[in-house]
Structure 1
């Protein structure tokens, strides 16, 4: 099969198209003919070796966390997915197996979900990792409930956009930070209060909207980009940071928060992820949540997608077209 592989850790130049052996599904696995693969910040971080604490690299290695395609074969014990079924999933690359930048990928059945009928392959491939990260931050860690006030920092990102929509569906009230060009976009997704983070007025604007502070801050950006985040919380509130794996980003100051009676957590999508993705798929199928804005690139342009993400130049979700 055709795949994008790396033979070593490094920059975007290590990404190369190659012919490699097609994997075969083991017990409990599904072989997917990949149509589209989503590109995430975690992909370039994986390429540069920043996931070394989570997985063992075995070269040649195929990157890619997200995929959408059709069932090509199933392993022992998988009986509920007929061949040709349209599916989407997070790949098992987080467990050190080959990912989605290939014509075929083996994925655990426990992570596999049928695609909603109202999504095409590109839109479906743009969903899993950002949506699961937002879900984990709001619900698994943040215990979001109806009526709570939440600040989504980075509402213009794919993760932030899903977080705004999930919080709206859960009956929460939402404020979001974003660039000036995304103010109308985050409001359309469900944010009552949209704040241009570059204008330097996050705290005063948020205080006017939530004088006692918000119940939950979900930091989708990290890297110290939300100054004095703990000051934005009400008494007993919680700061949840999405795991960034970026060098130098140590996450929330857990000790300082505890001294002030505040809570903190770091969120990441757990494997296998099918149970949460099923809930997300139901919201997508009902039209209550929509996939992010995206740009589709040919598989051969994978380095371009990586460079855009790494340099902060991607204005839309990057998706690779693997097969027509």
Structure 2
């Protein structure tokens, strides 16, 4: 008999009205895949953008389609050729929604073994589900594109968001000196994560504050907000420095202009990962397990409130990192 599961699906791209809870088949793990029984699914801005069709330039939708990039849970089964994972093992992963495969807003999801990582013992399922996409974006921007090294200076624009929270901690863990923009209400929180300077973006004095903090300019500016919210980003760099932007994928946001950067004697790049997500997620997991990095503060909602969670993220009203609880831990 075919196994069935609950999932949040879309039958077409569009606004909140296209979401529905459906009864769909449990995916069968193909060769090289791990089937995860989902405990929690992280909610990311990329999820509502996926719902609305902003990812159609990168992927093909096959409807009904299950959204959701981030997952934590236990191994339910493995496909042929999979080694190193056993049923019942606690894992987390970034799904392959970007490749057109079903995502994590469901009771089960099949993910390539190269993207699945054992969960650190000190993390619960909700915390683990809050990690993959924002932490990987931060890592890619800081290290893969930005080349950040110990002793350098970095400004994280949007330090209080999920990506920014990880960026501040990862930069600090590698020995860089870190400044970040945030609201005044989040200043103490960021300072506790390792910021040397927290700049209130609402005051309109980012450039002046940066000149006082790093007169020669920063080695790296990571723009984790986008949308033209840091128009003077290149001015904050020292000669040869680099501005790395994490694209919002919304219309009109193309990131910094490399030609303009070259004219100014600096560099510009976009944060795109060039390797399987599990490779970097294992390194991040080691830092989490050692207590050198911790997840952002979270709020859990049931699967049935996926629509409300996406609305909160899209409108910017989410005060914490949102996570959907798909299966109660006692059920494992």
Please indicate, yes or no, whether the TM-score normalized by the shorter chain is above 0.5: yes
Is 1:276 aligned to residue 297 of structure 2? no
In 1, are the aligned partners of 2:40 and 2:325 still within 8 Å (CA)? yes
Instruction: From 63, 75, 78, give the equivalent of 1:74.
Output: 78
Cα distance, 1:255 vs. partner?
Answer: 1.2
Residue matched to 1:165 = 169
Local SS of the residue matching 1:290: coil
Residue matched to 1:89 = 93
Deviations 1:137-185 (A, max 9, x none): 0000000001000000000000000000000000000000011111111
Local SS of the residue matching 1:222: coil
Local SS of the residue matching 1:187: helix
Residue matched to 1:178 = 182
Instruction: From 302, 315, 318, give the equivalent of 1:314.
Output: 318
Cα distance, 1:272 vs. partner?
Answer: 2.2
In 2, are the aligned partners of 1:151 and 1:217 still within 8 Å (CA)? yes
Cα distance, 1:80 vs. partner?
Answer: 1.2
In the TM superposition, 1:205-284 aligns within 5 A as 205-270=209-274, 272-284=276-288
Is 1:295 aligned to residue 285 of structure 2? no
Is 1:9 aligned to residue 13 of structure 2? yes
Structure 1: tracts of 5 or more residues without a match: none
Length, aligned pairs only: 324
Cα distance, 1:14 vs. partner?
Answer: 1.1
In 2, are the aligned partners of 1:111 and 1:271 still within 8 Å (CA)? no
Cα distance, 1:88 vs. partner?
Answer: 0.0
Instruction: From 149, 155, 159, give the equivalent of 1:151.
Output: 155
What CA RMSD, in Å, does the superposition of the two structures yield over aligned residues?
0.7
Distance in 1 (CA, whole Å) between partners of 2:275 and 2:217 is 33
Cα distance, 1:226 vs. partner?
Answer: 0.8
Deviations 1:245-275 (A, max 9, x none): 0211110021110111211100034452101
Instruction: From 46, 58, 62, give the equivalent of 1:54.
Output: 58
Local SS of the residue matching 1:236: strand
Instruction: From 91, 95, 102, give the equivalent of 1:98.
Output: 102
In 2, are the aligned partners of 1:129 and 1:269 still within 8 Å (CA)? no
| TM-score, normalization by structure 2 | 0.97
Structure 2: tracts of 5 or more residues without a match: none
Local SS of the residue matching 1:51: helix
Deviations 1:108-150 (A, max 9, x none): 0000000000000000000000000000000000000010000
Local SS of the residue matching 1:165: helix
| TM-score, normalization by structure 1 | 0.99
